[in-house]
Structures are given as C-alpha cells and as structure tokens.
Amino acid sequence: MLSIPYRAVLNMPLQSDWALPTAAALGAAVGGGMAAALQGMSNMLPGATFGSMLGVGWASVLQGMDEQEARLRAHHAQVRAFADYPAVQALLRRAGTSVDDELALQRLSGKLEADFARMTERFNEYCVLRDLAPNRLIGEVIRHFYLTHCADRGIVLLSKRNAHACYLVATNTRHQGDIAQAMNQEGVGAGTALRQMRCPYLRVDLANERLSDARAFTTEVRDGEWQVLPAELPPGQTTQTFAPGPLVHAVRRRCPRASCARAGRPASLPEAAVPSSGDALVIQRGPLLRAKLAALPSECRTWRELERIEQDLAAHRPCGHLITYQGEEYLASDLHMGGRRCPGRNAWRLLHRRIPGGHELVDIVDPHGPRR
C-alpha cells in the first residue's frame, strides 16, 4: 500500500519546486472527496478541479507573503549592519539623531548606497577601458572601505597617468587635485605619495585581480594601505545564507613595536564567542589583542569582561562609545587589564569595530596615556 510522507509534505519549504504541484494534488483530493461525500460520485471531478484551483491559489498567496517577509528580514539585517559602523554612527550624531531613528538611518543609507553605486560604476567604466572583468565582490569591497571612512572624509577614485593602477582614496574632495598631482610626481610611487599625505587608500585593480573566483574577502591595513585578499566562508555558511555583505575578517597591522608575541598560550584559554543564530555574526580577535591575552591567566577578570562584551556584540546589543585612537576611529568598551584596578575610573579600553559580517576586537589600550 502506498504511504503518504505526511511529515515531508508538512515541512516542505514554500519556495520549493514541488510546493504548487503538492498544493494542487492536496486541493484536488480534499475537494473531490468532499464533493463525492456530499453530492455523490458524479460531482467528484468538478469538486477536485475546484479544490485544486483553491490549493494552488492559497499556496501562491503564502509564497508571496514568505518572499516579502524574507525581503524585510534581509533589509532589516542590512540596515542594522550598516548602523554598526562607527563612521555611520558619527554621521548620525552630527545630524542630531542616532541609530534608533529608523527614518534618519534609512535616509542616510539611501544616500550612501547611491554613492557606493556611483563609485562602483566608475570602476566598471575603468574596467571596460582596460578590457578587464570586474569581480562580483568588488562592490562590497568599495562599500566596506567607504563605510569605514565616510565620517570625516570623502572617497575619490584616482588612476596614475601612463599606468593601469587605480586607487580608491579616502580624502576630502577639495584635495583631489593635490593628491592626483602628488601621485604623478616623477620618481615617486603613488602609494608612497598617498602614505606621505596620510590618506588611507586601496588599490582597486589589484583587489579585483586577487579576488578572482573568491566567495568572500579579508582585508589587511598596513600603514594606511588596504590590501584585499580572498577568504573562505565558515563551515555551513553559503553566499545565499550568509548575512548581507561578504564575510570580512579585517586585520589591522601597525608599525612594529616591542615584541608582543609570546611563546605559549594557556591551554584553557577561552575561544572567541560566535553566535549560533540564523544571522550569526563573526566575532574576531585581532593579532594585537591575542598577543596581550596570551600573557593573562585564564581565570583573571579580563577574560570574564571580554566574554561579556563578545556576548553583547553577538546579540546586537549596543556596546562602547566612539573614540579616535592613533588616527583611526573605534568603539571603546571599559575593560580591566589583568584584573588590576586604576585610581579613579578605569583607564583601560577594549577597542573594537564593525566589519561586514561581524566585529573585530582590535586591542586593549589606555587611550588617555602617552602615545608610543
């Protein structure tokens, strides 16, 4: 006897290719059965036809509602990820509002998205002129660079004369002419000129080439230069199920300092918390932070406070206040270093920042002390 897989039918996704045929079959069975029971076998066929039409119609309505809910969820997740950038929060504060003002957030998002699209279109035109194929991730790379620097700088796209190099530069647009002139000096590399002018920059053509067939990317920042490299998605994640934007692990490298690498690390060292919800965020500890934590015993207060901050970030709870440290903007959260207390208010801060796909915990510093 043929058995009907009831559980498979009830758990079938609304967007499945079999959803409408199944709805038609169930509607026909119910409609035909009711017509035969109430009006006799002669009316079974019209009842089955009518039931099938009702089943397909209702399934189509449910599919439309499911698609709309999915779009709304994706939109809200994208807006919240957008709002987590410190530069975006700074722009909203200057406008006299905050990330809690959804209307202001949407207006700012619309304006910046138009800027991303315009800059991406300009790079696509650059690719056409040089017979290059733009990578599908390059728009997200430009978006990430833009959102990191949009609080106090504009973003311009410049290319060096008589060369194929193309640079995305964070600077005020009124300085664009001066920067273009400096980049084209005889005997001076464009990167050298940009570093001398203290302008963060990204060589977009090189990023486009390096990404190739990558499904995600990672960035490293060295002395103001952004370098983009391909990255792997976490196990179980796909480009369809991952939160809006690519997975980005941002690793910031500063100028060499006194050796901070330690020979070992406590065996019981806690690992960074990674939330397991559907819109999971990546919580990444940067190399500077890991080096400091390596010297701490696993039972010290710092670990407990660090885990609490990681849990807050993973749960999308507001965490930290915006500061500028060594020329870069971060969110800073109070943290006791090694369990030591300071006279008056604690001076230590955990520096962290939003990156597409999650948060990077950068370092534990005393931003009030002398810069070394």
Question: Which carries the bigger pLDDT value, residue 90 or residue 35?
Answer: 90
pLDDT at 152: 74
Instruction: Identify the band that residue 356 occupies on the pLDDT scale cut at 50, 70 and 90.
Output: confident
Spatial neighbors of 263 by CB under 8 A, at least 6 apart, are: none
Instruction: Identify the band that residue 3 occupies on the pLDDT scale cut at 50, 70 and 90.
Output: low
Q: Which is it for strands 201-203 and 225-231: parallel, antiparallel or unpaired?
A: parallel
Which helix (H) or strand (E) segment holds residue 361: the answer is strand 358-365
Please give the structure tokens belonging to residue 274: 């990674």
Indicate the CATH number for domain 262-372. 3.30.2310
> What DSSP character marks residue 275?
-
pLDDT at 118: 87
CA end-to-end span of the chain? 80
Please give the structure tokens belonging to residue 267: 């065996």
Please state, in angstroms and rounded to a whole number, the distance separating the CA atoms of residues 24 and 360. Answer: 50
SS3 helix, strand, coil % of the chain, rounded to 5?
45, 15, 40
Instruction: Identify the band that residue 45 occupies on the pLDDT scale cut at 50, 70 and 90.
Output: confident
Q: Is the dihedral of CA 223, 226, 229, 233 positive or negative?
A: positive
145-162 b/e with 16+ CB inside 10 Å = b? bbbbbbbebbbbbbbbee
Q: Where are the domains of the chain?
A: 6-83, 262-372
Please give the structure tokens belonging to residue 317: 């709870």
Task: Encode pLDDT of 109-166 as tens digits.
Answer: 888 888 888 888 888 888 888 888 888 888 888 888 888 888 877 788 887 766 678 8
Candidate ranges 38-52, 100-114, 236-250; pick with highest mean pLDDT: 100-114
Please state, in angstroms and rounded to a whole number, the distance separating the CA atoms of residues 244 and 229. Answer: 19
The answer to whether 202 and 228 have CB atoms below 8 angstroms apart is: yes
Alpha helices for the chain (secondary structure H): 6-10, 19-39, 44-83, 86-94, 102-129, 138-149, 176-183, 190-196, 204-211, 287-293, 301-314
**For the whole model, what pTM was predicted?**
0.50
Which of the residue ranges 15-29, 148-162, 273-287, 338-352 would you say has the lowest mean pLDDT?
273-287
Which helix (H) or strand (E) segment holds residue 363: the answer is strand 358-365
Which of the residue ranges 43-52, 224-233, 273-282 would you say has the lowest mean pLDDT?
273-282
